[in-house]
Amino acid sequence: MEILQLIVNGIMSGTILAVPAIGLTVIFAVLRFTNFALASHMTIGAYAGLIANATFGLPVIPSLIVAFVGAGLVGWLSDEFVLKPLRASGFITTAIGSIALTIGLENIVRFIFGNQMRGYDLPIRRDWRFSGLHISPQQVESLVIAIVVMGLLFVFLSMTRTGKAMRAVADNPMLAAIKGINADRIAGIVSFVGMGLAGVGGMLIGLDTTIDPLVGFKTVLSIFAAAVVGGFGSIPGAVVGALVIGIGEELSLLVLSPAYRTAVGFIAILLVLTLRPRGLLGARAY
């Protein structure tokens, strides 16, 4: 029963990790660099959602849309004006630039909102209990929201012209350019969508806990691990990777002290890079 409870907890946390992990992997698939600014965009999304929910009294779903649009816009602007000029210098320079960017953005959030923890204006509900298990209604809602968001993204990528163009650039940028796909426009859309997903992930984490300017930074290692384990650049891989990390972190409690939970992420990265460098599902973008 204990194992079952840990697996349930792992599925819950893994599904929420999957949303920003998809954002990270989509950006990598198209722009070919690891955008560490994901952490600050999670924070920005969480705070955008907080303004919508706590200040303007909007319910969860509209607040999540605000989180998506807010983080997406900042993601598009920061890519356009900060990261795009760095891309010519190579992916390492751009990735390092994204670290500087995330520290800068995080401190802007800190300057505007202060350091104190904040909670969404939502009632906290007691867990549902059945068959010796307990599960939080908020986590179930977040799980459903995360699945719907992933479904919408799948529809966007597989059924819309822009989504197909994104996949084309991810698969073969040169061929996509020959076919007349505007890589700059696609880069902007990818940054908007990827960072928007990060913002949704930041708010989903905050819904179950509280938020502060470090809300993104605290979880970015697990998200990075999820993307690597699943296969950097693969969207289904990000989902599988997030579930592996989420469930793995929980199951590790059977043999490890909780104080070493984060080690699971590192060990997973090491194992995957050693045994299957392409990740569990390879590196296809869809």
Partner 1 sequence: MTRVTRRKILKGAAAAAAGVALPVRAYAAGEAVKVGILTPLTGAGGADGPRMLKAMQAVFDEVNKAGGVDGRMFQTVVEDDQTNPEAAVRAARKLIEVDKVPIIMGTWASSVTTAVLPVCWESKTFMMTVSGADSISLLPHQGYLVRTQPTSKLQSIAHASYIASTGKMKIGVIGIQAPFAQSTKEHLDATIKAAGGSVVSHVIYEKDKSTYRSEIDQVMKANPDNLYLNGYAPDTVVVLRDLYKAGIELPKFCQSYAVPQSTLDANPPEVSEGVVTGSPSADVDSTAYKLAADRLGMREIDAYVAQATDWASLAVLTFAKSKEATGSAFKDNVRKVSQGDGVKVYSAIEGLKAISEGKEINYEGASGPCDFNEIGDIAKCRFRFTQVRNGKLEFLKIV
Chain residues that interact with partner 1, rule: CB under 8 A: 2, 5-6, 9, 13, 16, 110, 115-119, 123-127, 129, 134, 136, 138, 205, 208-210, 212-214, 218-219, 250, 253, 257-262
Determine the number of helices (DSSP H) and then strands (DSSP E) in the chain: 12, 2
State the minimum distance, in angstroms, from the CB of residue 238 to partner 1: 18
Task: Give the closest residue to 213 by CA, choosing from 5, 37, 4, 46.
Answer: 46
State the minimum distance, in angstroms, from the CB of residue 251 to partner 1: 9
State the minimum distance, in angstroms, from the CB of residue 16 to partner 1: 8
- State which residue, 123 or 180, has the beta carbon closest to partner 1: 123
Task: Give the closest residue to 16 by CA, choosing from 143, 192, 173.
Answer: 143
- State which residue, 86 or 205, has the beta carbon closest to partner 1: 205
Q: What phi, psi does 94 have (nearest 5°)?
A: -65, -40
Q: How many angstroms separate the Cα of 92 from the Cα of each of 84, 225, 228?
A: 13, 18, 17
- State which residue, 120 or 192, has the beta carbon closest to partner 1: 120
Q: Do 275 and 42 meet the contact criterion of CB atoms below 8 Å apart? A: no
Task: Give the closest residue to 60 by CA, choosing from 189, 150, 151, 149.
Answer: 149
Amino acid letter, 59: P
- State which residue, 22 or 165, has the beta carbon closest to partner 1: 22
State the minimum distance, in angstroms, from the CB of residue 44 to partner 1: 17
Kindly state the DSSP code that residue 122 receives in the 8-state scheme: -
- State which residue, 145 or 170, has the beta carbon closest to partner 1: 145
Q: What phi, psi does 134 have (nearest 5°)?
A: -130, 145
State the minimum distance, in angstroms, from the CB of residue 124 to partner 1: 6
- State which residue, 63 or 234, has the beta carbon closest to partner 1: 63
Q: Do 90 and 80 meet the contact criterion of CB atoms below 8 Å apart? A: no
Amino acid letter, 182: N
State the minimum distance, in angstroms, from the CB of residue 263 to partner 1: 9
- State which residue, 79 or 212, has the beta carbon closest to partner 1: 212
Rounded Cα distance, 140 and 155, in Å: 23
Kindly state the DSSP code that residue 118 receives in the 8-state scheme: B
Rounded Cα distance, 195 and 68, in Å: 8
State the minimum distance, in angstroms, from the CB of residue 4 to partner 1: 12
State the minimum distance, in angstroms, from the CB of residue 133 to partner 1: 10
Q: What phi, psi does 130 have (nearest 5°)?
A: -155, 140
- State which residue, 35 or 222, has the beta carbon closest to partner 1: 222
